[in-house]
Amino acid sequence: MADIQCSLLVIIIDTNPVWWGQHFLQDNNQCDLFGCLDSILVFANSHLMMKHGNQLAIIASHTNQSYFLYPQGKTEEPVVTSDTNSETPTDEIGPRPSSDGRYELFTQVDEQITTQVKSLILGAEEGQLYSDCVVAGSLAMALCFIHRMEKQMHLGDKMSSRILVIKGSEDNPAQYMNFMNTVFSAQKQNVVMDGCILGKDSSLMQQACDITGGTYLKLPSINGLLQYLLCVFLPDPDVRHKFILPARVQVDYRAACFCHRNLIDIGYVCSVCLSIFCSFSPICSTCQTTFKFLGPPKILKKKMKKAVM
């Protein structure tokens, strides 16, 4: 049996209403979440059309949670209503045909994702809104989903997996450890991470794309989101070397300290657990290692002479 080559694409969408609301007002009502969502849906449908065996998953990275938009973790069973005088159910089980002649799978993906995003935005509470999104948790969910799909593959079949992060909000240094753990896990599983940045440059996504061999792109304008997605991120990583893609940017490899979660250039590193600190501490707060220090050489020589006498 020949190997079935298919591609699994996991798209992580930043649905932070704080960032989208600020840019919606700054750009004179031109930067809209649902307008960008339409472009992302066209890109997702294009990925499904590339090959029959291609698979898709979309995760919403919100301010305080990560949520599967497609496929859903819990699916509702269809309600079957039957009449006492009739043996056949009135509701048919299965996908309903599209009324506008579109492919049923595309209709299902578009309607389900749009409905879930609306309910997610409207259900957010004001006290739980932050300026960043939990992208580290979304990456962990994506890796778990990829691992589960690989386990379900038949023996001898192969599947290439990649993650595309469409992010607008700024980085949160408090997620540095969790974020880098997911990046190294993706590198071990041969999962490519791509970054499509809508706002300011993300140093964490630059590191993730460089470590996993993905493509990092900061959009000069959100209005051309669909063109950038189709031209840069639609081809698989195996064939990207045949295209003329944007040049790689200089990666900001600054690490976040474990004490204040700030990005630093020079710091102190624990010799036992390799934790990074911005200021000196005699005891490592991560592994509780106590460091021993010797005094100045002159004092040591005087003590040695006294001991000899």
Between CA 103 and CA 92 the distance in angstroms is 19
Q: Name the pTM for this structure.
A: 0.78
Q: What is the pLDDT of residue 181?
A: 92
**143 within 8 A of 184, measured Cβ to Cβ:** no
Q: What local confidence, expressed as pLDDT, does residue 12 receive?
A: 96
Strands 276-277 and 268-269: antiparallel
The pLDDT assigned to 62 comes to 87
Phi then psi dihedrals of residue 186, to 5 deg? -65, -40
Q: Which of 20, 29, 221, 264 is nearest to 133 (CA)?
A: 20
CATH 3.30.565.10 assigned to domain 5-75+90-242? The reply is no
Of residues 183, 95, 99, 91, the one with CA closest to residue 136 = 183
**Average pLDDT per 10 consecutive residues for the chain, totaling 309 residues:** 74 89 67 86 92 91 88 46 37 48 76 85 67 88 94 84 93 85 94 93 91 92 90 91 82 80 84 84 85 64 64
Check: CB of residue 139 under 8 Å from CB of residue 11: no
Token pair in block for residue 98: 């599209």
Domain ranges of the chain: 5-75+90-242, 255-308
Asked if 170 and 131 touch (Cβ cutoff 8 Å), the reply is yes
CA–CA distance, 305 with 174 (Å, rounded to integer): 51
Q: Which of 116, 111, 106 is CA-nearest to residue 46?
A: 106
E strand spans, the chain: 5-14, 55-61, 66-70, 158-167, 192-197, 216-218, 255-256, 263-264, 268-269, 276-277
What's the rounded Cα separation, in Å, for the pair 75 and 98? 20
**Kind of pairing, strands 158-167 and 192-197?**
parallel
CB 6 within 8 A of CB 53: yes
